[in-house]
Amino acid sequence: MANKDKVLDVFRSIDKALRPGEIAEQTGIDSKEVSKIIKELREEGKVFSPKRCYYALK
C-alpha cells in the first residue's frame, strides 16, 4: 500500500481533524513525509484545514 493510501485510510477511520504527527504515529511514516503527502492531498482537493495545523477529509 502506498503511503498516500495509508494516510487517507487514517483520515477515513478517525472522524476528526488530525495533526500530521498523529497520522505519523498511526501509520509509522515519518512526520515530514506525512506533511508532504498532506500538501499533495490539499492540492488535489481531498483534504482541508479546519484550523491551523489540523487536517481533515473534505
So where are the chain's domains? 3-57
Three-state DSSP at 37 gives helix
CA distances from 4 to 35, 39, 51, 54 (A): 11, 11, 22, 17
Question: What's the whole-model pTM score?
Answer: 0.90
pLDDT band at 29 (very low <50, low <70, confident <90, very high): very high
pLDDT at 1 over 80: no
Extended strands (E) in the chain: 47-48, 56-57
CATH number for the domain running over 3-57: 1.10.10.10
Percent over 90 (pLDDT), the chain: 97
Please give the average per-residue pLDDT across 10-39, as a whole number.
Answer: 95
Please give the average per-residue pLDDT across 42-56, as a whole number.
Answer: 96
Planar angle of CA 33, 42, 4, nearest 5 degrees: 40
The one-letter amino acid code at 14 reads: I
